[in-house]
Chains A and B, each alone.
Chain A
Amino acid sequence: MEAEFIVHAGQYLGAGLCIGLGAIGAALGEGYTGGLANTSISRRPAMAPTYTRTMLVAQAVAETSAIFALMVSVLLLFTDLSGMGVCQWAAAIGAGLSMGLGAFGSGIGAGLPGGQAIWGLSRQPQTASHMTTTMLVSQAICQTPAIFSLVVAFLLIFKDASGYPLWPYSASFLAAGLAMGLGAIGSGWGGGMTGGACCEGFARQPRLRSQLMTMNLVGQAVSQTPAIFALLIAIMLVVGGKTEGNILTVATTLGAGLAIGFGAIGSGLGNGANAQGACEAVTMNSGTSKDMMTFMLVGQAIGQTPVIFALVVSLMLIFIPFSGMPANLVGFSALVGAGLSVGIAGIGSGFGNGLNGASACRGVALAPAERGSMLTLMLVGQAVAQTPAIFGLLVAFILMFKGYPGPATLPAAMALLSAGLCMGFGGLGPGVGNGFTGAAACEAAGHRPDQRGLIMRTMLVAQAVAQSTAIYALVIAFVLIFVV
Chain B
Amino acid sequence: MENISGADLVRAAAFIGAGIAMGLGAIGPGVGEGFAGGKACEAIGRNPDEAGLLTRTMLVAQAVAESTGIYSLVVALLLIFVV
| Residues on A facing B (Cβ under 8 Å) | 328-329, 348, 352, 388, 408-411, 413-415, 417-441, 443-445, 447-448, 451, 454-455, 458-459, 461-463, 465-470, 472-473, 475-477, 479-480, 483-484
| SS of B interface (majority) | helix
| Residues of chain B contacted by A348 (CB below 8 angstroms) | 30
A480 to B34, Cβ gap below 8 A? no
| SS of A interface (majority) | helix
| Residues of chain A contacted by B48 (CB below 8 angstroms) | 448, 451, 454
| Residues of chain A contacted by B80 (CB below 8 angstroms) | 476, 479-480, 483-484
List 9 A–B pairs whose Cβ atoms lie within 8 Å, in order of A's numbering: A410-B11, A415-B12, A428-B26, A433-B29, A437-B37, A472-B70, A476-B77, A480-B19, A483-B80
| Residues of chain A contacted by B29 (CB below 8 angstroms) | 429, 433, 466, 468-469
B 11-26 to A, binary, CB cutoff 8 A, 1 in contact else 0: 1111111111011111
Taken together as a complex, chains A and B put the C-alpha atoms of A28 and B10 apart, in Å, by 42
Smallest Cβ distance from B82 to chain A, in angstroms? Answer: 12
Could you list 18 further interchain pairs (A-B, Cβ under 8 angstroms) beyond the known A427-B26, A459-B41?
A408-B1, A411-B15, A413-B12, A417-B16, A420-B19, A429-B28, A429-B29, A432-B30, A433-B31, A436-B31, A440-B41, A444-B41, A462-B38, A463-B34, A466-B29, A473-B23, A480-B15, A484-B15
| Residues of chain A contacted by B20 (CB below 8 angstroms) | 418, 421-422, 425
Taken together as a complex, chains A and B put the C-alpha atoms of A441 and B46 apart, in Å, by 11
B41 to A458, Cβ gap below 8 A? yes
> CB within 8 A of A476: which of B18, B40, B46?
B18
| Residues of chain A contacted by B63 (CB below 8 angstroms) | 465
| Residues of chain A contacted by B72 (CB below 8 angstroms) | 469, 472
| Residues of chain B contacted by A470 (CB below 8 angstroms) | 26, 30
B19 to A476, Cβ gap below 8 A? yes
| Residues of chain B contacted by A459 (CB below 8 angstroms) | 37, 41
A414 to B16, Cβ gap below 8 A? yes
B34 to A433, Cβ gap below 8 A? yes
Q: Quick one: given A435-B34, A439-B38, are A466 and B51 in contact (CB under 8 Å)?
A: no
Taken together as a complex, chains A and B put the C-alpha atoms of A438 and B51 apart, in Å, by 17
A436 to B38, Cβ gap below 8 A? yes
> CB within 8 A of B30: which of A445, A448, A466?
A466
Ranked nearest first, the 8 interchain pairs of A and B with the lowest CB-CB distance are A433-B34, A462-B37, A429-B30, A444-B45, A418-B19, A440-B38, A425-B23, A430-B30
| Residues of chain B contacted by A440 (CB below 8 angstroms) | 37-42
Taken together as a complex, chains A and B put the C-alpha atoms of A436 and B76 apart, in Å, by 27
B12 to A461, Cβ gap below 8 A? no
| Residues of chain B contacted by A434 (CB below 8 angstroms) | 30, 34
A458 to B23, Cβ gap below 8 A? no
Taken together as a complex, chains A and B put the C-alpha atoms of A430 and B34 apart, in Å, by 7
Pick from A410, A469, A475, A477 the residue with the most CB of B within 10 Å. A469
| Residues on B facing A (Cβ under 8 Å) | 1, 4, 8-9, 11-20, 22-42, 44-46, 48, 51, 54-55, 58-59, 62-63, 66, 69-70, 72-73, 76-77, 80
Taken together as a complex, chains A and B put the C-alpha atoms of A352 and B58 apart, in Å, by 20
Q: Quick one: given A462-B38, A469-B66, are A428 and B30 in contact (CB under 8 Å)?
A: yes
A462 to B28, Cβ gap below 8 A? no
B33 to A466, Cβ gap below 8 A? yes
A425 to B73, Cβ gap below 8 A? no
| Residues of chain B contacted by A444 (CB below 8 angstroms) | 41-42, 44-46
Smallest Cβ distance from A237 to chain B, in angstroms? Answer: 26
Smallest Cβ distance from B30 to chain A, in angstroms? Answer: 3
| Residues of chain A contacted by B1 (CB below 8 angstroms) | 328-329, 408-410
Smallest Cβ distance from B1 to chain A, in angstroms? Answer: 5
Smallest Cβ distance from A366 to chain B, in angstroms? Answer: 11
| Residues of chain A contacted by B54 (CB below 8 angstroms) | 458
Smallest Cβ distance from A425 to chain B, in angstroms? Answer: 3
B51 to A458, Cβ gap below 8 A? yes
Taken together as a complex, chains A and B put the C-alpha atoms of A388 and B31 apart, in Å, by 13
| Residues of chain A contacted by B30 (CB below 8 angstroms) | 348, 388, 428-434, 466-467, 469-470
B8 to A466, Cβ gap below 8 A? no
Q: Which residue of B lies closest to A465 (CB)?
A: B62
Taken together as a complex, chains A and B put the C-alpha atoms of A352 and B80 apart, in Å, by 31
| Residues of chain A contacted by B4 (CB below 8 angstroms) | 410
B37 to A430, Cβ gap below 8 A? no
| Residues of chain B contacted by A414 (CB below 8 angstroms) | 12-13, 15-16
| Residues of chain B contacted by A424 (CB below 8 angstroms) | 23
Taken together as a complex, chains A and B put the C-alpha atoms of A169 and B18 apart, in Å, by 32
